[in-house]
Structures are given as structure tokens and as C-alpha cells.
């Protein structure tokens, strides 16, 4: 008779938090917190938006080797 052992990995999620100001006491008892990040005003390097960066990089790659950026 063969015995099978199933090992279920245990996942532990923990983050270190550095409190800059305020208090975390309002979160007492909360076991789950959904966070949403918005990237409305993010710049990519010297470019004001991602589309400009992609356009420039595509041009650069295609000058080097046509079709590489596709």
C-alpha cells in the first residue's frame, strides 16, 4: 500500500510599516485592507507620460534593428 504525503505550503504575508505620522489605531481589528494605486501623474524618466517613452524607444530600436520593437 502506497502512502501519499501532500505538503501544503504555508504563506505568511507580513509587511514592515514605518509610521510617518498619525495613528494606526483606527485599523485595530481590521484583518483585510484593500489599497488602490493610481498612476495619473507618473513620469517615465524625462518623459511626461508612458506613451512618449514607448514611442521614442520604439523609434530607437527600429533604427538599430528594424522590427525589433514590435
Query: For position 45, what pLDDT does the model report?
Result: 87
Summarize pLDDT for 9-24 with one digit per residue, the tens.
556 666 777 889 998 8
CB 44 within 8 A of CB 53: yes
Query: For position 29, what pLDDT does the model report?
Result: 92
pTM: 0.42
Summarize pLDDT for 23-35 with one digit per residue, the tens.
889 989 999 989 9
Query: For position 44, what pLDDT does the model report?
Result: 85
Mean pLDDT of all residues belonging to the chain: 80
For residues 37-67, one letter each, b for 16 or more C-beta atoms within 10 angstroms of the residue's C-beta and e for the rest, the string is eeeeeeeeeeeeeeeeeeeeeeeeeeeeeee
pLDDT at 4 over 70: no
Delimit the domains of the chain by residue range. 32-64
Amino acid at each position: 500500500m502506497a502512502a501519499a504525503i501532500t505538503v501544503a505550503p504555508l504563506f505568511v504575508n507580513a509587511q514592515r510599516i514605518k509610521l510617518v505620522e498619525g495613528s494606526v489605531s483606527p485599523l485595530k481589528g481590521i484583518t483585510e485592507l484593500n489599497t488602490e494605486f493610481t498612476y495619473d501623474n507618473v513620469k517615465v524618466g524625462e518623459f511626461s507620460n508612458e506613451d512618449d517613452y514607448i514611442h521614442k524607444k520604439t523609434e530607437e530600436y527600429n533604427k538599430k534593428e528594424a522590427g525589433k520593437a514590435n
